[in-house]
Amino acid sequence: MLFMGMGMKVLRYDDAQIAEYSNATEYLLNKTEYATMLFLMKAKPNKAWATPFVTGHKYKLHWG
């Protein structure tokens, strides 16, 4: 399998998560809080950038 260089970054963005830090910017810059999902090139479509999300929670998504 080949992996594309750019991963999708997911950060849990609930108010309670952010409140644990002195400000939101500190939380956003903490790279250990992010999960990274790599895109599988040459794979079946059902194995590429699909992830479950829990309803009732907020998430921040970005690529790079």
In this predicted structure, the answer to whether residue 17 has a pLDDT above a threshold of 80 is yes
Provide the pLDDT for residue 37. Answer: 81
In angstroms, what is the C-alpha Rg of the chain? 14
In this predicted structure, the answer to whether residue 50 has a pLDDT above a threshold of 80 is no
What's the mean pLDDT in 50-55?
80
- What are the residue ranges spanned by the domains of the chain? 2-63
Provide the pLDDT for residue 21. Answer: 86
pTM for the model: 0.66
Residues 6+ apart with CB under 8 A from 58: 12, 13, 14, 15
d(CA 56, CA 46): 25
Q: What is the pLDDT of residues 21-42, one digit of tens each?
A: 888 888 888 888 898 887 766 6
